[in-house]
Structure 1
Amino acid sequence: MKITTETINYIAKLAKLRFNEDEAETFAKEFEGILDHFQNLDKEDLSMEGLAAAKEGKSILRKDEIKPFENKEELFQNAKGMRESYLSIPKVIE
């Protein structure tokens, strides 16, 4: 869908905004990109097969699988404090 600067200026007027010509052109390109994404979504198959089971009241369960995580340094890289292999948190109750 082609978005023109006139369309942008019309929308800006409705929203009580003002854009110069360069900003209007930039917004027009960005809006075109957004609308292209919506057109791509229209082409996708968004049917939900599991929805029928949910309507019938049946639970769909998956098998729990245990997967060990070996890289603990990466896992706790953003932790503020560590004591041995435990997280150290400040005392809350005085």
Structure 2
Amino acid sequence: MRKVTTAFSVVALLFLFAGFSGCKKTSELQAQIDQQQQKITQLEGQVQTLTVARDSLQNLVQELSAPKGAPAKKPVTPKPKPHKPPKTGR
């Protein structure tokens, strides 16, 4: 009976020790998760800033490429003169 009690105590101590080391690992992993979430938040802010910059650049390109004032007229090409048929000897 003593052997069973001793074995049970040893197993209980092992589970207790494993539980404490697991808590340490859990807190370390939670700290890493918090760091990664902070980085994600920073990157999302950068994405928003870059999106605004991209949109303003697109608007600028459209403004610069748009024709100013009245559109230019197409050059006028002279119409060819009608061709006269050759005279026959009559």
TM-score (norm 2): 0.28
Normalised TM-score (structure 1): 0.27
- Structure showing greater radius of gyration is 2
